[in-house]
């Protein structure tokens, strides 16, 4: 062992320091004394998706047998819980999720979970949150396959329903979502499931569950749960935008569109298109976003659905503004606002006023931009939508800047900055700080401009956003 410290360390790590697994490896090594430990490490690496890399002809050299010995020593309740854990596709699991998989009350679960901890079969990494080593998770997955098909489906259905409801509650905090009732009933489910009072709480939960949610959606797509896949794609839209998880956004967005197409449901296709379209916009793939929205527009117009037609027209307008063709965008944005007012939708009127104001700013018609942006901010304040109210303040500051009213521009910009910080909306704040730097530069406040751009660059670099290069250039030019 002293001659091969590297392989020894890797063996310990791959066995999760589990005495039983280490005993298996030791027995395997002892049975082949002429083999270097590096050869055994290679077997462990190749095990990948199953336990075959640790299989042996004798019980003492077969990890399945060793894990089985440990498993059989558990109480009946602990065995049932451990097997149920194999149904979860993610990397770790909350006690709430275990409750869904087992249908056992949380308080009843604590004893078997402690038993699993004491047996080194699970590790509690945070309060009420557990993780298994890869080898044990593979074993649990094998045990889960032995669960009766009806019971297995019911367990997964409970887990999926929980994640749908809680992801819906999170989206309601993270992103303006007046049509969430078309996707999920956030008031349903168990009263103990997580709820959120602020966007920061919702984002914390989404950050923690991110890997599990991604794994779950992929698994659902693989097994044909199409109606759930498109719903998750839409529900995660706001999270992906807030954290700029562009690769996840594109991948889950594509799965959502594919799933929606398989259902043949127009509502599903509409919502899935909006998620993937947003991902294309975030990736600055404007042509693909517009093409996707144009396809959705055909569907909403064929259904004579004025509200959804307005949404798609608004999205096309936003894409055109950001692609540099704001002149062409104005017509789409005007039509969207008109349809919202005809439908009497205050929620939509607020959003479309905001985007139309942005469009007018982009073509230099700042008075019209100011009017629409101020109307939007007032509506968002009435609706209690703080994030979008802050975004409206950004647009108002840009209108004032275009009108050369620098004092009002600076004052409004500072209001927006404070509101973004209070909400923990760091990506929106970073984008806004680009403008703050320009405003401070125009006022001759070089130090404040440099500070704004430095703060923006820190966020963009952390999110791997290409705007970091733009900010670096601004900082270089300001020296």
In DSSP notation, 157-170 reads: HHHHHHHHHHHHHH
Q: Which CATH architecture group holds 74-147?
A: Orthogonal Bundle (1.10)
pLDDT at 37: 84
According to the CATH classification, is domain 284-411 in 1.25.40.10?
yes
Segment 305-321 mean pLDDT: 95
pLDDT in tens, 192-205: 999 999 999 999 99
Which of 41-50, 73-82, 297-306, 375-384 bottoms out in mean pLDDT, i.e. has the lowest?
A: 41-50
Tell me the HSE value of 191 on the side-chain side, using a 13 A CA sphere. Answer: 0
Which of 10-24, 246-260, 295-309, 426-440 bottoms out in mean pLDDT, i.e. has the lowest?
A: 10-24
Q: How far apart are CA 141 and CA 137, in angstroms?
A: 6
Q: How far apart are CA 134 and CA 147, in angstroms?
A: 20
pLDDT in tens, 447-457: 999 999 999 99
pTM over the 0.75 mark: yes
Q: Which 3 state secondary structure label does DSSP give 384?
A: coil
Please, what is the average pLDDT of the chain? 91
pLDDT range class, residue 479, cuts 50, 70, 90:
confident
Run of H or E residues at 195: none
Contact between 289 and 255 (Cβ < 8 Å): no
The answer, yes or no, to whether residue 316 has pLDDT greater than 50, is yes
Q: Give per-residue burial for 404-429: e unless 16+ CB within 10 Å, then b.
A: ebeeebbebbebbbebbeebbbbbbb
Run of H or E residues at 54: none
pLDDT in tens, 126-155: 999 999 988 889 899 999 999 999 999 999
Instruction: Indicate the domain borders of the chain.
Output: 5-68, 74-147, 284-411, 425-479
């Amino acid at each position: 062992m002293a001659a091969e410290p590297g392989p020894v360390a890797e063996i310990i790590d791959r066995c999760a320091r589990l005495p039983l697994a280490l005993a298996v490896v030791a027995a395997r090594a002892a049975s082949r004394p002429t083999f270097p430990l590096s050869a055994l490490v290679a077997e462990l690496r190749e095990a990948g998706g199953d336990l075959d890399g640790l299989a042996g002809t004798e019980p003492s050299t077969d990890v399945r047998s060793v894990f089985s010995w440990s498993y059989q020593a558990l109480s009946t309740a602990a065995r049932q819980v451990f097997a149920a854990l194999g149904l979860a596709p993610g990397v770790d699991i909350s006690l709430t999720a275990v409750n869904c998989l087992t249908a056992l009350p949380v308080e009843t679960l604590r004893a078997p979970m402690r038993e699993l901890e004491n047996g080194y079969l699970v590790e509690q990494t945070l309060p009420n949150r557990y993780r298994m080593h890869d080898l044990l998770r593979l074993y649990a997955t094998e045990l889960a396959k032995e669960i009766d098909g009806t019971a297995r489906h019911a367990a997964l259905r409970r887990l999926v329903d929980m994640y749908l409801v809680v992801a819906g509650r999170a989206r309601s905090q993270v992103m303006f979502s007046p049509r969430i009732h078309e996707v999920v009933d956030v008031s349903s489910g168990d009263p103990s499931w997580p709820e959120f009072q602020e966007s920061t709480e919702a984002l914390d939960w989404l950050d923690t569950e991110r890997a599990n949610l991604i794994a779950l959606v992929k698994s659902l797509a693989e097994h044909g749960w199409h109606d759930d896949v498109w719903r998750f794609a839409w529900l995660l839209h706001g999270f992906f935008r807030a954290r700029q998880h562009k690769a996840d956004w594109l991948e889950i967005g594509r799965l959502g569109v594919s799933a929606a197409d398989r259902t043949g449901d127009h509502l599903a296709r509409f919502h899935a298109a909006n998620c993937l379209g947003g991902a294309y916009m975030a990736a600055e793939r404007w042509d693909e976003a517009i093409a996707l929205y144009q396809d959705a527009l055909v569907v909403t117009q064929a259904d004579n659905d004025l509200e959804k037609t307005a949404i798609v027209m608004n999205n096309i307008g936003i894409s055109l503004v950001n692609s540099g063709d704001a002149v062409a965008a104005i017509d789409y944005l005007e039509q969207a606002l008109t349809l919202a007012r005809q439908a009497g939708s205050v929620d939509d009127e607020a959003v479309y006023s905001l985007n139309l104001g942005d469009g007018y700013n982009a073509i230099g018609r700042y008075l019209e931009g100011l009017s629409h942006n101020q109307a939007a901010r007032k509506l968002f304040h009435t609706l209690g939508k703080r994030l979008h109210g802050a975004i409206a303040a950004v647009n108002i500051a840009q209108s004032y800047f275009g009108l050369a009213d620098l004092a009002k521009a600076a004052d409004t910009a500072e209001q927006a900055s404070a509101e973004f910080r209070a909400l923990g909306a760091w990506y929106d704040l970073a984008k806004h700080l680009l403008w703050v730097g320009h405003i401070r530069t125009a006022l001759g406040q070089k130090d404040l401009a440099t500070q704004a751009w430095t703060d923006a660059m820190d966020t963009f670099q952390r999110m791997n956003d290409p705007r970091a290069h733009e900010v670096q250039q601004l900082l270089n030019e300001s020296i």
